[in-house]
Amino acid sequence: MRNIRRICAAGLAALCLCLGLSAPAGAGTETADTYGTGRAAAGEAVGYYAGWAAYQGHTPDKIPAEHLTRINYAFARIDPETLTLDLEDPARDKKNLAALRELRQEHPHLKLIISVGGWSDSRYFSDAASTAVRRERFADSCVDFIAEHGLDGVDLDWEYPVSGGAAGNIHRPEDRQNFTKLLRELRARLDRQGRRDGKDYSLTIAGAAGSWYLDQIEAVKVADIVDHIFLMGYDFHGPWERYADFNAPLYAPSGASPQGRTGVGASLEAYLKKGVPAEKIVLGMPLYGYAYQGVSSKSNGLYSTYTSVRSVSYRTLKRSYLSNAAYRQLRHGEAQVPYLYGERTFISYDDETSLAAKAGLARELGLGGIGFWEISQDDGGTLMAAAGAAFRSGAGKTPFTDVPAGAWYEDAAAFVYEAGLMQGTSGTAFSPDRVTTRGQIAAILHRLEGEPGAGAAPFSDVEPESYCAAAAAWAAKEGIALGYGDGTFRPDVPITRQQLAAILFRYMGHRGADTSDRADLTDFRDSGDAAAYAREPLAWAVSAGLIQGRSGGILDPYGSATRAQTAVLLQRLDGLLEES
Distance between CA 181 and CA 135 in Å, rounded? 8
Q: Examine the residue annotation and report whether 241 is marked as an active-site residue of this protein.
A: no
Strands 85-87 and 70-78: what pairing? antiparallel
Q: What angle do CA 250, 166, 88 make, to 5 degrees?
A: 105
Which positions ≥6 away from 347 have C-beta within 8 Å?
289, 290, 291, 292, 312, 317, 321, 327, 339, 340, 341
Backbone dihedral region for residue 275 (phi beyond 0: left; psi -120 to 50: alpha; all else: beta): left
Rg (CA), the chain: 26
Cα 233 off chain centre by: 19
443 with 18: CB under 8 angstroms?
A: yes
DSSP state of 421: S
Q: Where are the alpha helices (DSSP H) in 150-275?
A: 175-197, 211-214, 219-225, 264-274
Which positions ≥6 away from 373 have C-beta within 8 Å?
48, 232, 234, 284, 285, 286, 287, 288
What is the three-class DSSP state of 305?
Answer: strand
Q: Where are the alpha helices (DSSP H) in 107-233?
A: 125-128, 132-149, 175-197, 211-214, 219-225
Q: Which of 159, 185, 374, 410 is catalytic?
A: 159
| Bridge partners for 371 per DSSP | 46, 284
Residue type, 327: Y
Which positions ≥6 away from 294 have C-beta within 8 Å?
306, 307, 308, 344, 345
**Packing angle of the helix pair 382-392, 352-364 (nearest 10 deg):** 30
Q: How many CB atoms lie within 10 A of CB 38?
A: 12
166 with 75: CB under 8 angstroms?
A: no
What is the three-class DSSP state of 510?
Answer: helix
What is the three-class DSSP state of 102?
Answer: helix
Q: How many CB atoms lie within 10 A of CB 81?
A: 8
- Nearest alpha carbon to residue 371 among 74, 46, 63: 46
Distance between CA 418 and CA 415 in Å, rounded? 5
Distance between CA 564 and CA 67 in Å, rounded? 29
What is the three-class DSSP state of 314?
Answer: helix
In the chain, what's the furthest Cα-to-Cα distance? 87
25 with 13: CB under 8 angstroms?
A: yes
Distance between CA 210 and CA 268 in Å, rounded? 9
What is the three-class DSSP state of 392?
Answer: helix
473 with 491: CB under 8 angstroms?
A: no
Distance between CA 15 and CA 562 in Å, rounded? 15
Q: Show which residues are catalytic.
A: 159
